[in-house]
Amino acid sequence: MIQEKRLVDEFIEFVKIGSESSNEGKFCNIIAEKLRKLGAKVFLDKSGEKIGSNGSNIIAKINGDNNLPTILLNAHLDTVTPGIDIKPIIEDGIIKSDGTTILGADDKSGIAIILEVLRVLNVEKISHPPIEIIFTLSEEIGLLGAKNLDYSLLNAKYGYSLDTHNVRKITTSAPSHNKIYIKIYGVESHAGASPEQGISAIELAGKAISRLKLGRIDEETTSNIGKIKGGTATNIVAGYVEIEGETRSHQEEKLQKETNHIVNVFKDVVQESKKIINGKSIAANIKTEVICEYKKFNLPIESLAVQRVIEAGKRIGLDILSSKGGGGSDANVFNERGIPTCIIGTGMQKVHTKKEFIKVEDLVLGAKLLLEIIKFC
């Protein structure tokens, strides 16, 4: 059975080990060794060299009943910042940091749960399918580990990514995500002596953004302008600005429509910037780039991966609800690679902030649910 103290102690051990994105090496080696002690065959790939991390994706395999389909378990090794010198505190059944850093429950709670479940399977000699464990690098900065994984090493037929908050909900769909990069080149001039002879790239960006509908577009689609950088001095009409934005949607047509809308609004504003200065026509210029970060997935309620969770929940008294996600995770990449993968919760709350916390009871419940899923696969 799941041992609460062992699980909590190991989670505390993990969050004390810094593993911000691109600096997962130390944590990676510790986890790889723990997996070896549990009898797993462990592979460390070369993905870190490709993406600028000092760590590796961990691919671990544990033998099981070959008459059953191989199951994939996933969590990511990295955390957001500030994630160095974390000082976890347990108070009234809640684990949190001292308020100067994140906690790192995203996603070390997932790793702790997976290792605890593997330990129970091993110690209690519980029959289970073959298991493939994938602990990835740099999920937080673009799912880079999952994108650079060698999928020829995997045999999994379906899987679970432990990377969301509510243990009582299963995420069965997530949106596609486009990143939008825009560069506007204006015309510099002295802001005090001759502002009329310039075209401000920052002003054009402001005009374009004012014409956009941002935030939630509909129940399936969102858009955002998240970064603006430009200009050189207050006394110079800005000759350059960079804008970064994004669109997300559960429908590809809506994603493309919203992406095109943003790009075209910026292009229209730049086109309108033409004017005559000293008898010459001048105008701003624009460059745009759209990059697909990941593709959507949508697992039907009848699918094996989803049904296993619902059935397991019933056996331990949980009514598991299906939900749509608004963000991306390694599960997007696994689904795109042909491994139906849904996302299950670990209890993590207020992630990516210094107020991040996890209830001990939720951490334990997440482990009990995962164990029940695997026992009856």
Q: Which amino acids are annotated catalytic?
A: 78, 139
Q: Name the residue among 164, 173, 160 with its Cα closest to residue 114.
A: 160
In the chain, helix, strand, coil percent, each to 5?
35, 30, 35
CA distances from 16 to 88, 95, 98, 103 (A): 7, 12, 12, 9
What beta strand segments (E) does 199-304 contain?
215-218, 221-230, 240-249, 275-277, 280-282, 285-294, 297-298
Q: Among candidates 155, 116, 85, 87, which has minimal Cα distance to 337?
A: 155
| Rounded CA separation 248/236 (Å) | 36
Strand bridging mode 341-345 / 58-62: unpaired
Distance in angstroms (rounded) separating the CA atoms of residues 111 and 74: 8
Rounded CA-CA distance 355/351 in Å is 8
